[in-house]
Amino acid sequence: MTVNGKKPKFAMYWAASCGGCEIAVLNIHEKILDVDANFDVVFWPVAMDAKYKDVEAMEDGSILLTLFNGGIRNDENEHLAKLLRRKTKILVAFGSCACEGCIPGLANLGNVGEIVHTAFNTITTDNPHEIYPRISFDVPEGELHIPKLAPMLRPLDQVVDVDYYMPGCPPESHQIAAVVDLVIKVVKGEAELPPKGSVIGVGDSTVCDECPRARNVKTIKSFKRIQDIAPVDPDLCLLEQGIPCNGPATRSGCNARCPNVGAQCIGCYGPAEGVIDYGARLITAFASVVDAKEPEEIEQILDGIPDPTGQVYRFNLAGSLLKANREAWKVK
Amino acid sequence: MTEKFEPTIIGFTCNWCSYRAADLAGTARMKYAPNVRLVRLMCSGRLDPTFVLRALSNGADGVMITGCHPGECHYLEQNYKALRRFLLLRRVLKGMGIEPERVKLVWASAAEGARFANETTTFVEEIRNLGPLNWGRFIKQEAEINESLHEEVPA
Across the interface, whether the CB atoms of A322 and B84 are under 8 A apart is answered: no
Largest CA distance in chain A: 72
CA-CA distance, A168 to A179, in Å (whole number)?
14
CA-CA distance, A80 to A69, in Å (whole number)?
11
What confidence score (pLDDT) does residue B148 get?
46
Range of the domain at A15: 9-104+151-188
Lowest mean pLDDT among A219-223, A266-270, A292-296, B142-146: B142-146
Chain B residue with minimal CA distance to A57? Answer: B155
A155 and A44, same domain (yes or no): yes
Domain count, chain A: 3
Is there a domain that residue B129 lies in?
Answer: yes
Q: How confident is the model at residue A164 (pLDDT cuts 50, 70, 90)?
A: very high
Chain B residue with minimal CA distance to A82? Answer: B153
Angstroms from B36 CA to nearest CA on chain A: 21
CB A201 within 8 A of CB A236: no
A172 and A27, same domain (yes or no): yes
> Which of B87, B93, B105 to mutate to probe the A interface, most A CBs <10 Å?
B87
Residue of A83, A277, A292 lying closest to B153 (CB–CB) = A83
ipTM of the complex: 0.92
Is there a domain that residue B30 lies in?
Answer: yes
pTM confidence score: 0.91
A33 and A164, same domain (yes or no): yes
- Using a CB-CB distance cutoff of 8 angstroms, which residues of chain B are in contact with residue A86? 153, 155
Average pLDDT in the A286-310 region? Answer: 95
CATH number of the domain at B116, please.
Answer: 3.40.50
Total beta-carbon pairs less than 8 A apart between chain A and chain B: 106
Is there a cis peptide before residue A231, judged by omega within 30 degrees of 0?
Answer: yes
A142 and A159, same domain (yes or no): no
In the DSSP assignment, the letter for residue A106 is: G
A126 and A273, same domain (yes or no): no
What confidence score (pLDDT) does residue B143 get?
53
How is chain B split among helix, strand and coil, in percent rounded to 5? 50, 15, 35
Range of the domain at B81: 9-149
A156 and A274, same domain (yes or no): no
CATH number of the domain at A30, please.
Answer: 3.40.50.700
Average pLDDT in the A63-74 region? Answer: 95
CB A248 within 8 A of CB A208: yes
Provide the 10 A C-beta neighbour count for residue B72. 13
Residue of B48, B83, B149 lying closest to A284 (CB–CB) = B48
Angstroms from B4 CA to nearest CA on chain A: 23
What confidence score (pLDDT) does residue B99 get?
96
A176 and A299, same domain (yes or no): no
Q: For A263-276, write each residue's pLDDT tens digit.
A: 999 999 999 999 99
Chain B residue with minimal CA distance to A75? Answer: B149
Average of per-residue pLDDT values in chain B = 89
Average pLDDT in the A159-171 region? Answer: 95
B98 touches chain A (CB under 8 A): yes
A165 and A118, same domain (yes or no): no
What confidence score (pLDDT) does residue A3 get?
53
Across the interface, whether the CB atoms of B149 and A325 are under 8 A apart is answered: no
pLDDT at B1 over 80: no
Q: For A136-146, write each residue's pLDDT tens digit.
A: 989 999 999 99
Is there a domain that residue B154 lies in?
Answer: no
Lowest mean pLDDT among A121-125, A128-132, B96-100: A121-125
Domain count, chain B: 1
Average pLDDT in the A158-169 region? Answer: 95
A37 touches chain B (CB under 8 A): no
Average pLDDT in the A87-98 region? Answer: 96
Is there a domain that residue B4 lies in?
Answer: no
Chain B residue with minimal CA distance to A296? Answer: B87
Q: What is the dihedral of CA A276, A277, A282, A284, to 10 degrees?
A: -70
A252 touches chain B (CB under 8 A): no
A98 and A178, same domain (yes or no): yes
Helix, strand or coil for residue A4?
coil
Provide the 10 A C-beta neighbour count for residue A105. 28
Across the interface, whether the CB atoms of A325 and B49 are under 8 A apart is answered: no
What does the H/E/C string look like for B30-96?
A: CCCCCCEEEEEECCHHHCCHHHHHHHHHCCCCEEEEEECCCCCECCECHHHHHHHHHHHHHHHHHHC
A170 and A313, same domain (yes or no): no
Is there a domain that residue A201 lies in?
Answer: no
Chain B residue with minimal CA distance to A55? Answer: B155
pLDDT at A225 over 60: yes
Q: How confident is the model at residue B152 (pLDDT cuts 50, 70, 90)?
A: very low
CA-CA distance, A44 to A49, in Å (whole number)?
8
Dihedral sign computed on CA atoms, order A328, B36, B90, A264: negative
What confidence score (pLDDT) does residue A2 get?
52
Q: For B20-54, write each residue's pLDDT tens digit.
A: 999 999 999 999 999 999 999 999 999 999 999 99
A176 and A234, same domain (yes or no): no
Amino acid letter, residue A305? I
Angle, in degrees to the nearest 10, between helices B113-130 and B18-27: 100
What confidence score (pLDDT) does residue B151 get?
44
CA-CA distance, A187 to A175, in Å (whole number)?
18
Is there a domain that residue A197 lies in?
Answer: no
Is there a domain that residue A227 lies in?
Answer: yes
What confidence score (pLDDT) does residue A281 get?
96
A99 and A145, same domain (yes or no): no
- Residue (of B103, B121, B110) closest to B12 by Cα position: B103
Average pLDDT in the A27-37 region? Answer: 90
Angstroms from A243 CA to nearest CA on chain B: 16
Exposed, middle or buried: residue A281 (CB in 10 Å: 0-12, 13-18, 19+)? buried
Tell me the Ramachandran region of residue A91: left when phi exceeds 0, alpha when psi lies from -120 to 50, beta otherwise: beta
- Using a CB-CB distance cutoff of 8 angstroms, which residues of chain B are in contact with residue A298? 83-84, 87
pLDDT at A132 over 70: yes
In sequence order, the β-bridge partners of residue A166 are A94
- Residue (of A309, A286, A313, A322) closest to B54 by Cα position: A322
A322 touches chain B (CB under 8 A): yes
